[in-house]
Amino acid sequence: MFYSSIPVRHKRNWRLYCLCFPILLLSVSLNGCEGGTMKNHAAIPADGPLSPVQFWEATDLHYHDKSLHDDGTAFQSFVSSGDGKQLPYIDEILDAFVYEAGIKKPDFIILSGDLTNNGERASHKSLARKLARIEEQGTSVYVIPGNHDLFNPWARAFKGDRQVVTESITDKDFTDIYRRFGYDEALSRDRQTLSYAVRAAPGLWLLMIDSIQYDNNRRLGHPQTDGRVLPSTLAWIDSCVQTATEENARVLTVMHHNILDHSDINIPGFKVNNSGQVLKNLQKNGLNLVLSGHIHMQDIRRKLTDGDSEIADKKAVYDIATSALAVNPHQYGAMTFDPMTGRTTYQSTPVDVEGWASSAGLTDPRLLSFKKYAEQSFMGSSYKKAYKSLRDSKFSDRDKREMADAMARLNVRYFAGTAGSGSGDLLMLHGFKLWSTVNKGFLPRYIRSMAQPKALSNTSLEIILNREQP
Ligand code: FE
Ligand code: MN
């Protein structure tokens, strides 16, 4: 049976919800509850007008609620020892994102996991309030979890010089907190996982695939990084695609983990563990576009059908890994879809934090020139790591500084998705050339892989989203 027996609640019951869940809905304006400005997402009809839609995909927001830190030494050292996430300004980045959505008014926004820093309940709750504001502006939001979002033993608050364990959430909490952002309007939910299918527009279904493994997190003491798609979920995908095909809709696939390698360096835990099996399933079902995240950098790859030439390979599967919203240059994918032709476009777009800050009358100079500040800050953290890795090397201190500088500059472009095609200038740097004389260790290999030229753009794409024949 396609329509799962899990009861799916619909937004038509708004009034009932307001009575039953007063606390959850505190942030929702009364206007919304009465249906005034609130879009009734559940009512997107299969046979509505087939007009082009605009939508965004953002990922790895790693939102950390302001109440969870006091900007003390514990927080600062957590941030500086981290992987370049702009946590001190994550609240402002999200507010700018909400503001930009209000101006550009995409039809819907997809968030493909790692919504929170480390699954803190307070972060989830506070993020859901921001997402409610997006929906009040008329844009639907659809979320799935990432590996950091559930049962996370790393959930922390930061007080002075101490890290304090704080509450994470369960899978059930996730569907409660985000009920309005996908789970309520789901056409079908997978029984075993938090995957669901939703009609995002007439002629377009989203398969929101949950690839997360969280059952062992408590025992492990950390969130499990690697993901998989369960065989039962693959069977559920088959039935979803069949139903979508019957209503002549095309299907876009979303998951947190990647389906293809996005680097020459094979890093375990990036691709779903059973990527070969999942890829076969996607190809069988004619699903040719996956939106993913998880790796925090911007990269687009495609898997060509064996034996086919690159040109006009209709069975090629694309995986767009959008860079983390929490990481410089804080971008999302602005997308369009035309249900008549299936033409689908993608363009990396940085959030205009400066524009939001000045329109809000803020005075923090970092926010008012955020593009520069965020880039410097990200470059600074890359520089420190690279310099530290060279500590015991034979290079002079001047050489070490030049090498760290070259690495930091390249890393900025790598995360933005612009390194492969346009880094000729950096490859000429003395510091970069010195890296190629080092053979040992991860970093030199990583740096060489960052500079690999690449034919396919990482920041824009235009393809025809496939449609199966009923
Ligand atoms: Fe992440
Ligand atoms: Mn992740």
pLDDT in tens, 442-462: 889 999 899 888 889 999 999
Please give the pLDDT value at position 10: 39
What residues in the chain have per-residue pLDDT under 50? 1-41
Ligand 2 centre to CA of 411 (Å) is: 19
What ligand is nearest to the CA atom of residue 225? Answer: 2
CA of 19 to the centre of ligand 1 (A): 36
Q: Kindly report the three-state secondary structure assignment for every residue of the chain.
A: CCCCCCCCCCHHHHHHHHHHCCCCCCCCCHHHHCCCCCCCHHHCCCCCCCCCEEEEEEECCCECCHHHECCCHHHHHHHHCCCCECHHHHHHHHHHHHHHHHHHCCCEEEEECCCECCCCHHHHHHHHHHHHHHHHCCCEEEEECCCCCCCCCCCEEEECCEEEECCCCCHHHHHHHCHHHHHCCCCEECCCCCCEEEEEECCEEEEEECCCCCCCHHHHCCCCCCCCCCHHHHHHHHHHHHHHHHCCCEEEEEECCECCCCCCCCCCCCECCCHHHHHHHHHHCCCCEEEECCCCCCEEEEECCCCCCCCCCCCCEEEEECCECCECCCEEEEEEECCCCCEEEEEEEECCHHHHHHHCCCCCHHHHCHHHHHHHHHHHHHHHHHHHHCCCCCCCHHHHHHHHHHHHHHHHHHHHCCCCCCCHHHHCCHHHHHHCCCCCCHHHHHHHHHCCCCCCCCCEEEEECCCCCC
pLDDT score, position 315: 76
Q: Which CATH architecture has domain 370-450?
A: Orthogonal Bundle (1.10)
* CATH pick for 3-354+457-464 out of 3.60.21.10, 3.40.50.2300, 3.40.50.300, 3.30.1540.20: 3.60.21.10
Whole-number Å distance, alpha carbon 399 to ligand 1 midpoint, is: 33
Distance 261 CA to ligand 2 centre (A): 15
Ligand 1: centre distance to CA 294 (Å): 5
User: What pLDDT, on the 0 to 100 scale, is given for residue 176?
Assistant: 98
For the chain, what are the domain ranges? Answer: 3-354+457-464, 370-450
CA–centroid distance, residue 427 to ligand 2 (Å): 30
Rounded distance from Cα 172 to ligand 2 centre (Å): 20
What pTM did the predictor assign?
0.90
Ligand 1 center–CA 147 separation, angstroms: 7
Per-residue pLDDT reduced to its tens digit, 62-75? 999 999 999 999 99
Position 420 scores a pLDDT of 80
The whole-number pLDDT of residue 468 equals 84
Q: How far is the CA of 333 from the centre of ligand 1 (A)?
A: 16
Ligand 2 center–CA 324 separation, angstroms: 9
16 CA to centre of ligand 2 in angstroms? 36
Q: Ligand 2: distance of its center to the CA of 225 in Å?
A: 7
Res 182: pLDDT: 98
- In angstroms, what is the span from residue 255 Cα to ligand 1's centroid? 12
